Amino acid sequence: MSSGLWPSTIPSQPVSHAAAPSHLLSENLIMKAGKNAEWAYRQKLASFPARIHTHPMASLVRLWATQRFAVVGFLLCALVLSGSAAPVDFDHEIVPILRQHCADCHTGTKKKGGLSFNTRESLMKGGENGAVVKPGNGGGSRLLEVVLSKDTDEQMPPKGDRLTPLEVSRLKAWIDEGATWTTGFSFQAPSYEPPLHPRHPVLPEAHDGRQHPLDRLVDAELAAHGIPRPAPLDDGTFLRRVSLDLVGLLPDSADWQKFLADSAPDKRARFVHQLMTNDVAYAEHWLSFWNDLLRNDYSGTGYIDGGRKQITPWLYQALLENKPYDQFARELIAPTSASEGFARGIQWRGAVSAGQTVPIQFAQSVGQTFLGINLKCASCHDSFIDRWTLDDAYGLAAIYSDKPLQLYRCDKATARDAKASWLFPELGQVDPAAPPADRLKRLAELMTNPENGRFSRTIVNRLWHRLMGHGIVHPVDAMQTAPWSPDLLDFLASDFVDHGYDIKHTLELICTSAAYQSRSESVHPGQDDHGFHFAGPRSKRMTSEQFVDAVWQLTGTAPTSFDAPVVRGRIDPNLKSTGRWIWAVTNPAPAGQVVTFRREWVLTSVPALAGAALTADNRFTLYVNGQKLREDDNWETVKSVELEKLLHAGTNRLVITAANGGDSPNPAGLLFEVRWKDEQDRWQSMGSDARWQWTVGGADERGSIATNAEWLPALEISDATWKEHIHGEMRGALTHLMQRNTPMVRASLVNCDLLQRALGRPNREQIVSTRPNDLSTLEAMDLSNGSMLASRLQAGAKRLVARWRNTDDLVQWLYPAALSRAPTTTEVAAAREFVGLQPTETGVEDLLWSVCMLPEFQLIR
């Protein structure tokens, strides 16, 4: 493939679809890819400070960016320009400057010259002579002029020390970067204090037959500000939006055709409810949201050395069962052994700051997750963003601590110990003399008290933000900030409590409103959201997991195994596992010793269905009738395999090698069960037990063992309570094998790879309540030239060529499947031109890439 569009300075060669020769691609599809890339380039470029646009490479970058494959230009722009100075820290660099040099005349009740620095809004309004700050243009801002002026009649500050060159430089850089301002910060004591207790607002009168309670509230808000109602959304866009929002998957072509053909007025409400009843899809989509918010993952910092514990099995089941949110929160705050990982946080190795100790992490996590409160500043000193103090943060931390907790101010020890206390004593208080477990239980009760309106407001605000792209209180972790609609927030919160803290109910309530089902708001580059008013949902970029799942859906290339230690789907409560833990015991058992288990059993006929579930402590390799079938090294997850194609009438032979990976003497253990349907269509089973045999050593690639091996009876372990939860996974795996309806593995269930990391999936060492909605250099590189995405598209192209013999048929399937709309005649003609009438693997790969690069694909509109 030609790489003529790539400058010679780029070291790696692009994959075929990223730099396909122009004679293979129609002008239409090239322009689609180019427009998407140019959109990405312009969005990224707009985010750079004004000074960057004068970079000597900028003009060349723009030239590259306007070529057909403008992704290249965007990448170079990001690579060249992102080497600028570090972003300005408003809290620690700008606030001290303004406080020292400007506060005496322009904060609090003082507005010399009509100019107030109290809030960003007041600063942007300017003074008697007009605006003083032009975001993005520090050099052209009046503020910089007077700061640098030598005229004693206009220079600022008029007396006292002038700004140092470094202070001037940072102030100018801050304005160049848009004069960003920490939400909730004010030089004046905050006048807004969120209410504590819940409130049931009276619904406004309905207009034009819009009876939905959320529409009555939103319509009143729009009318009050003279904002027209956003136009309704078409069926196809609604279908795609709500499916991605609620279960994280693209609706397939069949769903799209069926939905469009349905003329019933309640079809949208029925579809929303149908999505909410898909327990597995719902749980596996929202698992990412909660993993981010609860700082949970399957691998990473702290897990190897035991300084961190994941809560995945507990969390997955809680989502699958739609556990009431108040119970959900109580089990995290006053945890069971299954849910304690959230409260435990991360036990960092080596010396850490006072703000990173486990009790302080607990206070920060509880405050942020359940109350939308930032206690990180207050963990070091009294916060200057809101009203929380060092004593507040340490009081919450002391509830968790199992020993006296000394206060540290700015990492320096004080002479005081913290007193365990709750942030809102109006609801009650924690007894500091009680044992830690009792203190946590009391904290859980106070947090979920129905009179704690801040608890319910925080979660419904997160859900609204997730679906609408902008919070009622925004950002979602700044719940000390006034909401743009107090009545809407309070109605959602009180309705949530009235319906038993049912998250699915609230999601369904929002998605059935006309407000949600309206066209996206048009957001202009550089638009200032201070003083936000609702004008429709905001378009959202797909999350990392949504994008990867969508690619897997279109290409059929989802993995067959996953890393999350969960049982997918609801377990048959009546299913009893017959397998028992068996061990191979030698005295002593050397560390890492490999042993082999075996068992034979006779079938009178070939079963129509058969499957096995197994795990080993802590790695195994399974052979069935001389064929190597599966291996794994994570004993905490049960693996399942389908067997009917490998079994035959007569004697069947199972061989499993196992080894314990510990460093100390420890025998290897095995848990196994096979199920098959007999001639009467009844399920039969055989599990691991004392009838199995074992021998020292492994097997060859066909499961054969040395003929002189000494076989001994396995030891059945009756008291294996330390692995008891695995039996639950065994039942779940067997349920799926017997039902054969396990859906596609989801990206949320696998460890984060380089592609997902580039697309914004966080490492989760810190709580992440929102992910960036803009593009990054790394993401653009992986989308245009990354091997992981390329390999999926290549494998998908091969599958699609085998499935579709006609390009027109392929395109008529692909566009509804990817975009929930039919292709235009221009798009069909373009596909014919460069794919040909009969699909080829190269052509289909380029077509897939072109579609996946469209903003229309990557955005949830």
pLDDT at 190: 61
pLDDT at 85: 57
Shortest CA distance to 294 belongs to which of 480, 500, 459, 430? 459
Kindly report the backbone phi and psi dihedral angles of residue 406, in degrees, each rounded to the nearest multiple of 5, phi listed first: -75, 140
Q: Treating both helix axes as pointing N-terminal to C-terminal, what angle do 279-294 and 235-247 enclose, rounded to 10 degrees? A: 60
CA-based diameter of the chain, in Å? Answer: 104
Name the residue with tokens 């990054």.
776
Question: Do 272 and 512 contact (CB within 8 A), yes or no?
Answer: yes
Task: Write the Ramachandran bin of 23: left for phi over 0, alpha for psi from -120 to 50, otherwise beta.
Answer: alpha
Name residue 655's beta-bridge partners. Answer: 598, 623
Kindly report the backbone phi and psi dihedral angles of residue 497, in degrees, each rounded to the nearest multiple of 5, phi listed first: -65, -45
Shortest CA distance to 853 belongs to which of 236, 241, 71? 71
Q: Mapping DSSP to helix (H, G, I), strand (E, B) and coil, where does residue 215 land?
A: helix
Tokens of residue 751, six digits: 């460890």
Cα atoms found within 13 Å of the Cα of residue 495, Cβ hemisphere only: 21
Name residue 85's amino acid: A
Q: Which residues of the chain have pLDDT under 50?
A: 1-84
Name residue 693's beta-bridge partners. Answer: 598, 713
Non-local (6+) Cβ contacts of 626 within 8 A are 653, 702, 703, 704
pLDDT at 43: 44
Shortest CA distance to 705 belongs to which of 601, 623, 787, 803? 623
pLDDT at 723: 63
pLDDT at 13: 33
Name residue 628's beta-bridge partners. Answer: 623
Non-local (6+) Cβ contacts of 224 within 8 A are none
Kindly report the backbone phi and psi dihedral angles of residue 400, in degrees, each rounded to the nearest multiple of 5, phi listed first: -85, -35
Taking the alpha carbons at both ends of the chain, their separation in whole angstroms is 34
Non-local (6+) Cβ contacts of 74 within 8 A are 37, 38, 40, 41, 44, 65, 775, 780
Tell me how crowded residue 12 is: count the other CB atoms within 10 A of its CB: 10
Question: Do 714 and 734 contact (CB within 8 A), yes or no?
Answer: no
pLDDT digits (tens, 9 = 90+) for 173-196: 999 998 988 876 778 766 678 999
Tokens of residue 98, six digits: 């303004």
